Amino acid sequence: MKLLTGLVLSVSTLFALTNAELAQKSKKAMDGFEDSISYMQMTLINAAGQKKVRRMKMKVLEGKDSDKSLMEFLSPADVKGTKFLSYEHVNKDDDQWIYLPALHRVKRIASKNKSGAFMGSEFSYEDLGAFNPKKYKYEGSPSESSLNGKAVYVSPAIPVSKYSGYTKLISYVDKNTFLVQKIEYYDRKHELLKVGTFDAYKKISGVYRIQGITMKNVQNDKTTILKWSDETIKNGLSARDFNKRYLSR
């Protein structure tokens, strides 16, 4: 009996899902949208509970390892016309630019500044890049737990970029769908900085798309909530729709 039990455990260990494999499955769960056009609402909540609401339009072009995204602020007046363009890369840091209408100029976001807050929110420039497992190092296999009644894998990852604002990310991934439910972000002092809760997913033309993210900074007690609406995919967008010249038009 002991021999049989040991054999079962050995086989189970041999075929255990690794953290690297889990990350690939998580990415694959949301692949295949080709491109996306959506509207977004960003709600900034300070430590006193006061709120600011911003509206944006978002375009994304899916690539094998190089998504492109373009965000434009529609309101309120103090941020209207601000545009943010990002080109994802695997073997180097993403290229990112922001157009500031008050200055009438395009500013490139330096790699060493990617950990900075995006437009005063609790999302960093680094957070706005598309998720790609190749940007992280993985070791071992995930542990198992439960989150809000769901069985989840708990998986750590270490950013590859030396300019990352994080030393570690811990993801909670639904065991059935492989969709990320929560991520804990640890700062350069190895302390918990913030927690991102992925509030909802929606299938659009058979592809899962995120509908809400709540980013809670546990160190300053500020929160930013992102909500997506009116999203369409497979619109026929191409790389020319993400040309840097568009920023200053």
pLDDT by 10-residue block (mean), the chain, 249 residues: 50 72 96 97 98 98 90 97 94 91 93 92 91 93 97 97 96 98 98 97 96 98 98 97 90
Rounded distance between C-alpha atoms, residue 116 and residue 135, angstroms: 18
- The pLDDT of residue 9: 44
Question: Does residue 53 sit in helix, strand or coil?
Answer: strand
Question: Does residue 31 sit in helix, strand or coil?
Answer: coil
C-alpha 63, offset from chain centre = 16
Domains of the chain listed by start with CATH number: 19-248 (2.50.20.10)
Nearest to 79 by CA among 112, 56, 46, 47: 56
Show contacts of 115-118: CB within 8 Å, 24+ apart: 115/163, 115/164, 115/165, 115/166, 118/84
- The pLDDT of residue 246: 87
- For the chain, the residue count is 249
- The pLDDT of residue 177: 97
- The pLDDT of residue 12: 44
- The pLDDT of residue 3: 52
- Cβ distance 142 to 19 under 8 Å? yes
Which pTM was predicted? 0.91
Taking CA 183 as the corner, what is the angle to CA 149 and CA 143, rounded to the nearest 5 degrees? 60
Rounded distance between C-alpha atoms, residue 237 and residue 37, angstroms: 9
Nearest to 141 by CA among 156, 151, 158: 156
- Cβ distance 76 to 43 under 8 Å? no
